[in-house]
Amino acid sequence: MRSIIYVSVADPLITPDDIADILGTARRNNARDALTGALIFNGHNFMQLLEGPGDKVEACLAAIRDDRRHSGMVEVRRRDIDHREFGDWSMLYEPNFDGHEDSLRRLAANGRLDPVDEQMMANFIALGRRRPTAAVPA
């Protein structure tokens, strides 16, 4: 089996309906194709871990890469795996990024989350925590 993680830039005009549509499609197709993983959206960027049979992972990635609801897809890691990190569900999406720690705890509770992957996801989520920046002095 293969496991990949990528990040991408969401279309700035993406709507909650778009996100719901992506999730519905992913849940349906991924269950059919024995793909599992996590989709995280931090309001600006997506990070997705996708794992399962190699040919299915590649086919799904190719479809996702062509999707105009995001761009700038960059693969951050790819490996062959013996065990899935996510077993019981196909996708996780956190529209409300107030509960970061809780989200990660639930992610970890769903399977054998690799500590390095967990750290990467935590770092990604932290990037979504925007604080107002101080005005730059003239």
Compute the least distance from the CB of residue 110 to ligand FMN, in Å.
Answer: 16
DSSP-derived 3-state class of residue 76: strand
The stretch near ligand FMN (CB under 6 A) out of 57-65, 94-102, 105-113, 127-135 is: 57-65
Does 64 bind ligand FMN (CB under 6 A)? Our answer is yes
DSSP-derived 3-state class of residue 52: strand
What is the total count of residues that contact ligand FMN (CB under 6 A)? 15
Q: How many whole angstroms separate alpha carbon 132 and alpha carbon 117?
A: 28
Residue 85: phi, psi to the nearest 5?
A: -85, -25
Q: If you compute the radius of gyration of the chain from its CA atoms, what whole number of angstroms results?
A: 15
Largest Cα–Cα separation, the chain: 57
Over the window 17 to 46, marking each residue x when it contacts ligand FMN by CB under 6 A and - when it does not, the resulting string is -----x--xx--xx--------x------x
User: Which spans of this chain sit near ligand FMN (rule: CB under 6 A)?
Assistant: 22, 25-26, 29-30, 39, 46, 48, 50, 60, 63-64, 67, 69-70
